[in-house]
Structure 1
Amino acid sequence: MLHVPPVTLPTTPAAALLSLQADIDALPTFAERVAAAKTRFSSKNRKGDTTFDAIKEVLTAMCAGRCRCMYCEDSAADEVEHFRPKDLYPEVVFAWINYLYACGPCNGPKNNRFQVLSAKSRTIVDVTRPLKAPVTEPEPGDPVLIDPRREDPLTLMRLDIRGTFLFRPIPSKGTHEYERANYTINILHLNERDHLPGARKDAYEAYCALLHRYVLKKKASASAEYLARTESALRRTHHPTVWAEMKRQRDEIPELRALFREAPEAMQW
């Protein structure tokens, strides 16, 4: 799970989102705004809608690999996901910065579950609305869930590429930062889906093989075109968090230390 570089939405769909959001914001009560947000988004988020076709095209270009989920990087991204759930935050139901492209196995469990670091008490509060509960505004606060559109998840969690291929929080237990990392890992089931560690291990081996091939061909004075193709293949490989961790942890793993010493330019890939 990596930071998603910012991309500006083209003018026409951006203007359409602003207009749609203004319609929601104009409603008099919070409950009406929530109801309209859900209904209006469902009616717009369909194939053939020019605004959301354009949005999905841009989100696809922002994804890693071949349109992989922005959370797990494994399954195909095919759902426009609201970082702040529309059931709780109708004021951003049509906000471009609130959109991620996700897969069902990530978006489904997350659903409308959400925690915040309360602005008032500075404690973590679950603002998820229970089924059939009154539709009231959630307590103000900063999200506990890590937002890859706005921040770098790898400042708070680390992928073990030396054995388990599981994510672990970096901050110390008992800190809000630890809780943020732990909550993100758990709510998205980043460690609980059995195939994910194996997929990350496969990606690690693929990255190593490509980098090893690049180093060998570089030493053999291969053409710049050939080396560029190898770099391009590496950039398209799934689970780019594995690659990011290979660069971060290179000095801890002799094989990686040697490869990156021979190809220091790969640190910029």
Structure 2
Amino acid sequence: MTKVEKNFEDIPSILKHASRKDAFEKNVNARAYSFGKTLYKTKEAQKNLKEIYHLKCAFCEKKLLDADKHIEHYRSKNTYYWLAYSWDNLLLACGNCNRAKGKKFKTENSKVIYKNETFEEIHALGKSYDEIEKPFIIHPEKEDVLQYIKYDKEGKVSSENPRVQHTIEEACKLNREELVQKRLSVLNDFINQINKHYILFTQEKSSLSRFKPDIETFIEKADKESEFYSFRYFILHNIEIFFENKNIQKILISFW
């Protein structure tokens, strides 16, 4: 979960189109999400979301190059039927995170109900709804939770923050085998490269410069646009968890 920025001065025009307003009014009259079931799935909306999320899942941070790209509703469109076309409510997610989350939306307080909000208002209701409901699921467009996320040597993610942990374990199942193995691959590749350099460094008494290319590459990939950015960031700031050798720790730290 990496915080991203969404421009509300540039809402996709299709989400403000008369056809969406018509579907919105039909859903409001029916008090259910029954009309226009694919009208939020547009090329324009998906294009914008792919740019905002750097073509990554909002929750697991997996790159969606060849994976399913789902336009996910933060608040379920089935419960919050009037928010089906809200730009504030649309995220980009992988199919597995979308299916894991489903209709789940745990809140500390009672859920809001529709109170005659107009079609023109739906793109800016999230903030006031958050204050009323106090959702457990993290919204990556509104919250920077990087400091609350922890990883272990097995590639598993956790948090002592109850809302972050709820999002990890209950809502999105972010310790799925596929994700754990992908994160482990990132970690093990880096560990193996550094250990190989260290063995040759000690045997040949060579320069520390031999470490530089691989370390710099890893640092460059600890970027918000990269897959599993939060994992890479955590590794860089918690070297002692992943490298027990004190000498290697010192070498790594010397490069950042």
**Pairwise TM-score range, normalised by the shorter structure:** 0.5 to 0.7
Unaligned runs of at least 5 residues, structure 1? 46-51, 120-124, 128-137, 172-177, 265-269
Distance (whole Å) between structure 1 residues aligned to residue 17 and residue 232 of structure 2: 40
For 1:174, the equivalent position in structure 2 comes to none
The two structures have a TM-score, normalised by structure 1, of 0.64
Runs (4+) of structure 1 moved beyond 4 Å? 19-22, 28-31, 207-213, 226-237, 251-256
Instruction: Verify: 1:197 aligned to 2:180, yes or no.
Output: yes
Per the TM alignment, residue 201 of structure 1 is displaced from its structure 2 partner at its CA by 0.8
Kept in 1: contact 2:71–2:90 (CA 8 A): yes
Report the aligned-residue RMSD: 4.1
Q: Hey, what's the Cα distance between the residues in 2 that align with 1:248 and 1:185? A: 23
Contact 2:73 2:91 in 1 (8 A): yes
- Partners in 2 of 1:69 and 1:32 — Cα distance? 32
Match status 1:89 vs 2:88: no
Give the Cα–Cα distance (whole angstroms) in 2 for the partners of residues 248 and 97 of structure 1.
32
Matched-pair contact (CA < 8 Å) for 1:83–1:99? yes
Letter in 1 for 2:4: P
Within the candidate set 15, 18, 22, 1:17 is matched to 15
Compute the displacement of 1:80 (Å).
0.5
1:181 partnered with 2:165: yes
Which residue does the alignment assign to 2:125? none
- What is the aligned-residue identity percentage? 15
Contact kept? 1:70, 1:77, Cα under 8 Å:
no
* DSSP-derived class of the 1:196 partner: helix
The answer for the alignment partner of 2:102 in structure 1 is 111
Deviation at 1:189, TM superposition (A): 1.5
Distance 1:57 1:246, change over 3 A: same
Q: 1:238 to 1:86 in 2, by over 3 A?
A: same
Counterpart for residue 249 of structure 1 = 238
Map 1:1-269 onto structure 2 (within 5 A): 2-8=1-7, 11=10, 13-19=11-17, 23=21, 27=25, 30=28, 32=30, 34-36=32-34, 39-45=35-41, 52-64=42-54, 67-74=55-62, 76=67, 78-118=69-109, 141-160=133-152, 162=153, 164-171=154-161, 178=162, 181-191=165-175, 193-208=176-191, 219=209, 235=223, 238-252=227-241, 253=243, 257-264=249-256
Q: CA 1:199–1:229 in 2, change beyond 3 Å: closer, same or farther?
A: closer
CA gap 1:243/1:210 in 2 versus in 1, 3 angstroms: farther
Q: What SS does structure 1 have at the residue aligned with 2:108?
A: strand
Distance 1:169 1:198 in 2: 19
Hey, what's the Cα distance between the residues in 1 that align with 2:181 and 2:139? 25
Name the structure 2 match of 1:175: none
Asked whether the 8 Å contact 2:20–2:36 carries over to 1, the reply is no
How many residues matched? 224
Q: Which amino acid aligns with 2:209?
A: K
Cα distance in 2 for residues equivalent to 1:82 and 1:257:
42
Aligned-partner SS, 2:33: helix
Cα contact 2:76–2:103 (8 A) shared by 1: yes
Show structure 2 runs of 5+ residues with no match: 114-128, 202-206
Between the aligned partners of 1:185 and 1:33, the Cα distance in structure 2 is 31
TM-score (norm 2): 0.67
Tell me, in whole angstroms, the C-alpha distance in 2 between the residues paired with 1:261 and 1:218: 12
Letter in 2 for 1:32: A
CA distance in 2, matches of 1:230, 1:247: 9
| Structure 1 residue 238: Cα displacement | 2.8
Q: Distance between the aligned counterparts of 1:210 and 1:231, measured in 2?
A: 14
What is the identity, as a one-letter code, of the residue corresponding to 1:72?
A: C
1:28–1:40 Cα change, 3 Å = closer
Secondary structure at the aligned position of 1:80 is classed as strand
Task: Tell me the SS of whatever aligns to 1:27.
Answer: helix
CA contact (8 A) 1:210 1:230 kept: no
Match of 1:133 in 2: none
